[in-house]
Structure 1
Amino acid sequence: MPRPRTISDEEILAAVSRVVGRVGPARLTLATVAEEAGIAPATLVQRFGSKRALMLSLHQDDAGLVRERLRETRDEGVSALDSLVTNLVGLSAPVADPVAFSNHLAVLHQDLSDPEFHAQARRHARAMLEEIQALLGRAVDAGELRPVDLTQLARSVQTTYNGALITWAIHREEPLESWLRRELGALLAPWRAGGA
């Protein structure tokens, strides 16, 4: 009979994400992940097989995770626009340090150059876009936003979010949360009901 697992795959993948944030994907090894997770490297090999498989597993459910995070405050009596901004800010929490951001940005290089990682990145981006559009639709229905091309505005929100992460990491003038809130607020302001 196999021995019970002392650590879940989710806990291991959380350790992988922390290691990526500290050292980036190129310097990540099974040994550093094992040390972070408090397990033997052989356990990682047994469960995942290789560093590549481990990294693919890390991003396997990114689309589901982004959906979950963008729905976090949706039903808590918070306005749809406030939910949108708050949830996008929450989504950025793992990269709120410039070093962690640059290390996670290195993962994007891998996402763009490897077909399997790229497929995961596209699913993540599509899920994010759909959830942004859903929240914007709720904002229109609630009278928070003027009627607008929701597809285009959702794309603009996603583009602003991603661009703001990069410009924040370059300028480093204030915390990421306030940087994101300002940039997203400026984008949405002309479309708010009664806005300029």
Structure 2
Amino acid sequence: MGRPREFSDEHIYYGVYQSLCKKGFAQTTLADIANEIGVSPAALIKRFSSKKGIFLAYSNYVIQLTEAKFNEADQSDAPPIEALKSVYKEAVRLGNDPVSLARHTSFYLESTTDPDLLEISRHRLAIIDAGTRRLLSKAVRDKSIQACDIELVSTVLQSAIGGALLIWIRDAGKTLDALIDDCFRVIIGPLRIGGNEHANDD
């Protein structure tokens, strides 16, 4: 009998990601994930117990990545607003096309009926909000933007980018990067010191 195939957590989570992009949350099964990474469903059940278990683990992994990206932005030599914009642009590159992104996003929408998955999703959103506020506050201290209601600006910016994703899913006439640039231009632009709302736009 051959030795059981070894596979890392990262490899498993990539299989989850691929399955979500192809089928969405409701239609993804443990068998789908197992097929993506070349293991048996039984191996996944042994490690995670259930579909919910693997999605909880995947959510925790995404949270770790989110925290890491904001920490990198905090320590970056780039202007805080540009560092923040880069975090958002990298985050939305989960889907290479509107259909894949819509299917992946279904995980955050359809899993809200489960209290445990909903709670971990809320935790991720809290991390995004906290990271956004930190970088906005840093931009105020650096005098690259005016003093403002950081909580409100963070909420509006996140809402605008979330809306941009929905627009892109329905009509990919612009790239996601361009839509995010638009969000920053309209929301952050008027706050820039000197009123240079086009400063550092890509």
Q: TM-score, normalised by structure 2?
A: 0.89
Q: CA deviation at 1:96?
A: 4.3
Q: CA deviation at 1:5?
A: 6.5
Amino acid at match of 1:20: L
Alignment deviations for residues 14-54 of structure 1 (CA, whole Å, 9 cap, x no partner): 21111101111122122221111121222111111111211
For the Cα contact (< 8 Å) 2:112–2:118, is it kept in 1? Answer: yes
Q: Which runs of 5+ in 2 are unaligned?
A: 198-202
Q: CA deviation at 1:118?
A: 0.8
Q: TM-score, normalised by structure 1?
A: 0.91
- Partner Cα separation in structure 2 for residue 147 and residue 90 of structure 1: 27
Q: Which residue of 1 aligns with 2:124?
A: 124
Alpha carbons of 1:118 and 1:6: their partners in 2 closer, same or farther (altered >3 Å)? same
Flag as ranges the 4+ runs of structure 1 deviating above 2 A: 60-65, 70-76, 108-112
Amino acid at match of 2:79: S
For the Cα contact (< 8 Å) 1:145–1:192, is it kept in 2? Answer: yes
- Partner Cα separation in structure 2 for residue 40 and residue 30 of structure 1: 9
- Partner Cα separation in structure 2 for residue 185 and residue 59 of structure 1: 31
- Partner Cα separation in structure 2 for residue 168 and residue 159 of structure 1: 14
Q: Which residue of 2 aligns with 1:139?
A: 139
Q: CA deviation at 1:177?
A: 1.4
Q: Which residue of 2 aligns with 1:34?
A: 34
Once the two structures are superposed, the pairs formed by residues 148-163 of structure 1 within 5 Å of their partners are 148-163=148-163
Q: Which residue of 2 aligns with 1:56?
A: 56
Q: Which residue of 2 aligns with 1:94?
A: 94
For the Cα contact (< 8 Å) 2:5–2:39, is it kept in 1? Answer: no
- Partner Cα separation in structure 1 for residue 96 and residue 151 of structure 2: 28
- Partner Cα separation in structure 2 for residue 177 and residue 86 of structure 1: 9
Q: CA deviation at 1:102?
A: 1.2
- Between the two proteins, the alignment pairs up a number of residues equal to 194
- Partner Cα separation in structure 2 for residue 101 and residue 22 of structure 1: 9
Q: Once superposed, what is the RMSD of the aligned Cα atoms?
A: 1.8
For the Cα contact (< 8 Å) 1:23–1:103, is it kept in 2? Answer: yes
Amino acid at match of 2:172: R
- Partner Cα separation in structure 2 for residue 98 and residue 37 of structure 1: 24
Q: Which residue of 1 aligns with 2:200?
A: none
Amino acid at match of 2:174: E
- Partner Cα separation in structure 1 for residue 70 and residue 186 of structure 2: 20
